[in-house]
Structure 1
Amino acid sequence: MSRQRIVALLAALVAVVGLAVLVPMASTASAATCAAPWNSSSVYTGGMAASYNGHNWSAKWWTQGETPGAADVWADQGGCDGSSGGTGGTTGGSGGCNYPAWAAGRSYVAGDIVQYTNGLFYVATHDNPGYDPTISTWYWSPYTCTGGGTGGTTPPPSGGFVVTEAQFDQIFPNRNSFYTYSGLTAALSAYPGFATTGSDTVRKQEAAAFLANVDHETGGLVYVVEQNTANYPTYCDWSQSYGCPAGQAAYYGRGPIQLSWNFNYKAAGDALGIDLLDNPNLVQTDAAVSWKTGLWYWNTQTGPGTMTPHNAMVNGAGFGETIRSINGSIECNGGNPAEVQDRVNDYQSITSILGVPAGGNLSC
C-alpha cells in the first residue's frame, strides 16, 4: 500500500473517531442542575447544597445567614442550570418586593431599598458608601415590603432577648447602675443576628459567651471606664489622618468591651452611625451606645483571632475562640492561663443560669 493511501486512510479514521467522541463530549458540557435556592433563614450543615448567583455551593460546616461567595463556609461547586433551581435570590423577592440585594461597598443614596442577606428589607435614610444595614442603623432603617412578599425567607426569631432581666440581674448582682438591661436590649436592634442565630442552645450559648467576656472586662459590669488613668494618653494613634480631635487622652477604654484607641472609636462610630471620634464620652454616658460598641466588636471584629466572636459561637468553634478574638495575643497559648480560666469560669456559670451546656473548646 502506498504511503499516500496510508495517510488518507488514517485521516479518514481520525475523522470518524473524532465524530464519535464529539457527540458525548457535547452532552457533558452542559451545566449541572441547580440545587434548591439558598435561603438566608435556613440552617445548613456540612455537605448540604444550595444554589446562589447561578452556582451550586456546598456548606463546609454549620451555617445560617452567611451568603455563598461572601463567606468561606461555602465551597463553590461551579455554574448550574437555573431551569430547575434558580439563582437563589439575587434579587429581593417577587412582585412589588423585587428590590436588589444589598452589596458591600456599593454607593447608596437616601431612599434606596435593598434586601439584606437575612431576607429582610432596608431603606437608606442617608447617603452611604455601602455600609451594612444591620450595623449602620443611622444610614439604614428596616423597611416593610407589602408589594408581593419577601421572597420566601423568614425573619429572625422574635420574642425578645434570650436572657431575661431576672437572669441578667442574677448574672451581675453587683453591677453598676449604668449598665441597664434596657440599654442592652435597646442595642440589640443594631445586630439582629446576635443571639438569634441557630438553635435555642446556640443562641443562649452566644449570649452567655458575650456576657462572660463582658463580665471579665468590667469586673462584673462594675467598671464603665478603664481604671488605669496612666494609660489614657497612650490610646491616640496620630498616624491616622483624622488624628484625635477629642484630645490626646480621650480614647481610653470604655463600656462593656472597654473600647479603646481613636481608630476603634472611629470605626465603631462609622458602623453605628454615631460620631464617636468627636464624642467618645457617649460610650460612658449613654447605656445603649455603650452596649452597641460591645456588640460592634463582638459581631464584626476578629481582633488577634481568626474569626469574630459571633462566628466562633454560631459556627461551633467554641468559647475559647472568643477569648482569642478579644485578648488572645496576651492571654492565649499560655500567655496568661489564669485570665483565660476566669473567663471560662464566668461562661460556665452563665450557661448554668441559662440552662444550656457550655459545649467544647472552652480554652485557648
Structure 2
Amino acid sequence: MSRQRIMSSLAAAAAAGALTVVLPASPAAAADCAAAWNSAAAYHGGATVSYKGRNWTAKWWTQNETPGGSSGVWADKGTCGGGTSTPSQPPASGSCNHPDWVAGRSYAAGDVVRYTDGKLYRAEHANPGYDPVISTWYWEPYTCGGSSPAPTTPAPSNPSGFVVSEAQFNQMFPSRNPFYTYKGLVDALSAYPAFARTGGDTVKKQEAAAFLANINHETGGLVHVVEQNTANYSHYCDRSQPYGCPAGQSAYYGRGPIQLSWNFNYKAAGDALGINLLNNPNLVQTDPAVAWKTAIWYWMTQNGPGTMTGHSAMVNGRGFGETIRSINGSLECGGRNPAQVQSRINAYQKFTQILGVAPGGNLSC
C-alpha cells in the first residue's frame, strides 16, 4: 500500500473517532537544548547541559567548571535550539562611562565597572565585591562600542601549577605572620605532587581551599607559628616510644601550619619527608618550606581521628566536613564543639569564593 493511501486511511479513521493520529514534527534546524548548566550543580560523566546556545556533555565528574572554559571537561555537542553559538555582548552605552569598582560593594550579574587598571569588567555572576582580576570566575573583561575585547593581563607564572595564586593567598591571609610565605608553600608542593592536582579544576580548588581553611583555623589566620599554651609543652613527649625524646622533654610542642605535636608525629613526618625532625623539631618553626611540608604530610597521609585523609575526603567527594573529622573530629564533630566547626566552614566558604568555585555539600561533621 502506498504512503498516500496509508495516510488517507489513518485520516479517515481519525475522523471516525477510531484513533488519535500524531504526525511527526518537521526536523528541527538544530538539536533541542538540554537543561541549562547550573554552576552549583554537580554533573557526572555523560551528563548533557546547554550553555550560551550550545549543548555540552561532561567527560567526567565536574562542578562549577564553565562549558567552553579551559578545564576541558565539557565536550561541545553543537548549536541547540536554532540559536547562535555565543550570544553577542549587550549593546554598550555610547559614552562607555561606568562606575569605579568598589571592594565590598555587592554587584549583580551584568554590572559593568571600571577597575583600578583603567579597564572595564562585567560581572558574570553576582558577588559581594570580589576583585575583578583575582576572582575571574565572577568577572570577565568588557569593552564598549563593539570593539575587540581588551587583552587580559596574564596571571603571574606559577611553575608549581598551584591553583591558588599569590594574590589569592594574600587575600585569604591578610594578617599572616611573615614566616608563612607563599614561596615556602610553593616549595613544599614537591613533597606530595598529588596535593591539589587531582581531578578537575573544581576539585583541585576545593581541596586547596579545604586545606587552607583548616590551616587558617589551626593558626588563627596563619598568625601563630608555635603553640601558644606553653604549659602544654612538656606533655608531648611519649617516652614509651623506642626512640624516646632525644631533643628534650619539652621539644615537641605544636609548630607550623598544622601545629605538629608529639615526638611520634615529628618522627613519622620526618621519616616521610627525609628530614630528621625527631632530633631537630625546631626546623618546623624556622624553615617555611619544612613547616608547610609537615602540614601537607598530615593532610595527605594521616586519618587522625577520622576514617580517611583530608586529601581523600576532597578528591572522592566526601565533603569538607570529613576533613574536619580527620583533623580534630574527636573534639569538634558530633556536636562536641559546633562553634569551632562553624569557624572552619566559614573560612572554607570564603576561600572557595575567592577561588571562584562552589563549596559542594557535606560541609559539617
TM-score by length of 2: 0.57
Provide the C-alpha distance between the structure 2 equivalents of 1:335 and 1:303, rounded to a whole number of angstroms: 17
- Aligned-residue CA RMSD (Å): 2.0
- Offset of 1:361 from its aligned partner? 0.1
- Offset of 1:180 from its aligned partner? 0.1
Q: Report the counterpart of residue 342 of structure 1 in structure 2.
A: 343
Q: Report the counterpart of residue 234 of structure 1 in structure 2.
A: 235
Provide the C-alpha distance between the structure 2 equivalents of 1:253 and 1:357, rounded to a whole number of angstroms: 32
Q: Report the counterpart of residue 165 of structure 1 in structure 2.
A: 166
Pairing of 1:27-176 with structure 2 (within 5 A):
160-176=161-177
Provide the C-alpha distance between the structure 2 equivalents of 1:290 and 1:232, rounded to a whole number of angstroms: 18
1:217-247: CA deviations, max 9, x gaps? 0000000000000000000000000000000
Provide the C-alpha distance between the structure 2 equivalents of 1:318 and 1:191, rounded to a whole number of angstroms: 21
Provide the C-alpha distance between the structure 1 equivalents of 2:199 and 2:241, rounded to a whole number of angstroms: 39
1:202/1:158 CA distance change after superposition, 3 Å: farther
Residue 177 in structure 1 maps to residue 178 in structure 2: yes
Q: Report the counterpart of residue 360 of structure 2 in structure 1.
A: 359
- Gap runs ≥5 in structure 1: 1-44, 47-60, 63-156
Q: Report the counterpart of residue 207 of structure 1 in structure 2.
A: 208
Provide the C-alpha distance between the structure 2 equivalents of 1:223 and 1:331, rounded to a whole number of angstroms: 21
Pairing of 1:182-331 with structure 2 (within 5 A):
182-331=183-332
AA of the residue aligned to 1:298: W
Q: What fraction of aligned residue pairs are identical, expressed as a percent?
A: 78
- Gap runs ≥5 in structure 2: 1-43, 46-59, 62-157
- Offset of 1:284 from its aligned partner? 0.1
Q: Secondary structure at the match of 2:261?
A: coil
- Offset of 1:363 from its aligned partner? 0.2
The number of aligned residues is: 214
AA of the residue aligned to 1:209: A
1:116-171: CA deviations, max 9, x gaps? xxxxxxxxxxxxxxxxxxxxxxxxxxxxxxxxxxxxxxxxx976210000000000
1:225-281: CA deviations, max 9, x gaps? 000000000000000000000000000000000000000000000000000000000
1:9-32: CA deviations, max 9, x gaps? xxxxxxxxxxxxxxxxxxxxxxxx
Q: Secondary structure at the match of 1:292?
A: helix
Provide the C-alpha distance between the structure 2 equivalents of 1:169 and 1:234, rounded to a whole number of angstroms: 35
1:49-102: CA deviations, max 9, x gaps? xxxxxxxxxxxx98xxxxxxxxxxxxxxxxxxxxxxxxxxxxxxxxxxxxxxxx
AA of the residue aligned to 1:262: N
Q: Secondary structure at the match of 2:179?
A: coil
Q: Secondary structure at the match of 2:177?
A: coil
1:176-233: CA deviations, max 9, x gaps? 0000000000000000000000010000000000000000000000000000000000
Provide the C-alpha distance between the structure 2 equivalents of 1:277 and 1:300, rounded to a whole number of angstroms: 18
- Offset of 1:358 from its aligned partner? 0.3
Q: Report the counterpart of residue 112 of structure 2 in structure 1.
A: none
User: After the TM superposition, which parts of structure 1 deviate over 3 Å for at least 4 consecutive aligned residues?
Assistant: none
Provide the C-alpha distance between the structure 2 equivalents of 1:295 and 1:268, rounded to a whole number of angstroms: 10
Q: Report the counterpart of residue 144 of structure 2 in structure 1.
A: none
1:294-346: CA deviations, max 9, x gaps? 00000000000000000000000000000000000000000100000000000
Provide the C-alpha distance between the structure 2 equivalents of 1:238 and 1:164, rounded to a whole number of angstroms: 43
AA of the residue aligned to 1:341: Q
1:185/1:159 CA distance change after superposition, 3 Å: closer
Contact 2:277 2:283 in 1 (8 A): yes
Contact 2:160 2:186 in 1 (8 A): no
**Structure richer in helix, relative to its length:** 1
Provide the C-alpha distance between the structure 2 equivalents of 1:220 and 1:310, rounded to a whole number of angstroms: 21
Provide the C-alpha distance between the structure 2 equivalents of 1:325 and 1:241, rounded to a whole number of angstroms: 27
TM-score by length of 1: 0.57
1:165/1:239 CA distance change after superposition, 3 Å: same
Provide the C-alpha distance between the structure 2 equivalents of 1:213 and 1:186, rounded to a whole number of angstroms: 20
Q: Report the counterpart of residue 115 of structure 1 in structure 2.
A: none
Provide the C-alpha distance between the structure 2 equivalents of 1:158 and 1:278, rounded to a whole number of angstroms: 33
Q: Report the counterpart of residue 121 of structure 1 in structure 2.
A: none
